[in-house]
A = this chain, B = another copy of it.
Amino acid sequence: MSAESRFLTLLRLLAHDPAAQGLMDDVALLPVGDTRLVLTSDTIVEGVHYLPADPPADIGWKLAAVSLSDLAAKGARPVGCLLNYALSGDEAWDAAFLEGLGEALDRHAMPLLGGDTVKMPAGSARSYSLTAIGEATGPVPSRAGARPGDRLFATGPVGDAGIGLELARADPAASGPLVDAYRRPRPRLAEGALIAPLAGAMMDLSDGLLIDAARMAQASGVAITIDHIPLSLALEKARGASTAVQIAAARAGDDYELLFTLPRGMTPPVRAIPIGHVSAGRGLTLMIDGAVVPLPDRLGWEH
């Protein structure tokens, strides 16, 4: 058990309210008055969750997009957010960050409601937190609703952001659709709102298809088989589609597509790619070109 796992165990002792869902989901689900709020908060740290050389507007965009993606996976409507901001000491940098953040907020109709601004001591890595509040508009799918017989879908290809991160790390001036996928992820709010009333289970792909599917299987108490790893044309063009490339794409994080299950025979209400199925049992099985492939040691981004 890692230090972080032990810390989370202590945290769960404080999170005894049912709304916290035992801190086992990406969001809290809080009944207030005659409605239900979906609450999520994310922190990004310089050098850990983004590259110091990333354009500040993209960092701001991404901070908002990450929380919006959590709302999307619940079919929730964004209501507002609070920002915790560490001033950089560089006004142009801060202004560009806010510009990118504002673009993401405006695009997804999530107003900034408040927060806090602080100065860090010289030399500190900076961190930014965004707490997003959504309102549930109907049934709120969890990770735990996958049932044997369900089909598994993703709203789009995986792995682009992972390659984009590699490209940006090698050359901060890199551009193109793969770098965009890393720097400007698009939260699937419209898709999530349409899928949520129908889905068995749903979550966003933030840490990698394999690890997120394994978490869905575990939370649901079922077995999941992935028999197709959806790759974009941009990724295939850059790296091909070998087994190694497919596995790398399925282990890469930051895609922010939605992973969801539907009962067999039901057509997804949005464009989505069939990638596998759910059966009785436990655990994750990966098939490539019709054959079972051993799972890699590290399934994705663990934190």
Contacts and interface: CB of A to CB of B under 8 A. Distances in A.
Interface of A: 3-4, 6-8, 10-11, 13-17, 19-20, 23, 27-28, 30, 32-35, 37, 39-49, 79-80, 82-87, 89, 91, 94-95, 98, 101-102, 105, 111-121, 123-125, 127, 129, 131, 133, 135, 303
Contacts of A79: 30, 32
Given A14-B105, A118-B127, A133-B39, A111 B20 contact: yes
B33 A32 contact: yes
Nearest to A36: B33
20 contacts: A4-B117, A14-B102, A17-B112, A20-B111, A20-B114, A28-B82, A32-B32, A32-B35, A33-B135, A41-B82, A41-B84, A41-B115, A43-B116, A45-B119, A45-B121, A48-B118, A82-B131, A86-B127, A120-B125, A133-B133
A28 B82 CA distance: 9
A113 B19 contact: yes
B45 A7 contact: no
Contacts of A127: 84, 86, 118, 120, 127
Given A41-B115, A114-B39, A84 B48 contact: no
A303 B114 CA distance: 15
Query: This chain: how many copies in the complex?
Result: 2
A13 B83 CA distance: 14
Contact of A120 (B6, B28, B48): B48
A251 to B, nearest CB: 20
Contacts of A33: 32-35, 135
A123 B121 CA distance: 11
Contacts of A98: 7, 10-11, 13-14
Contact of A116 (B80, B116, B129, B133): B129
Given A41-B131, A135-B32, A17 B111 contact: yes
A113 B48 contact: no
Residue from A7, A95, A113 whose CB has the most chain B CB atoms within 10 Å: A113
B91 A3 contact: yes
B84 A129 contact: yes
Nearest to A6: B91
Contacts of A4: 87, 117, 119
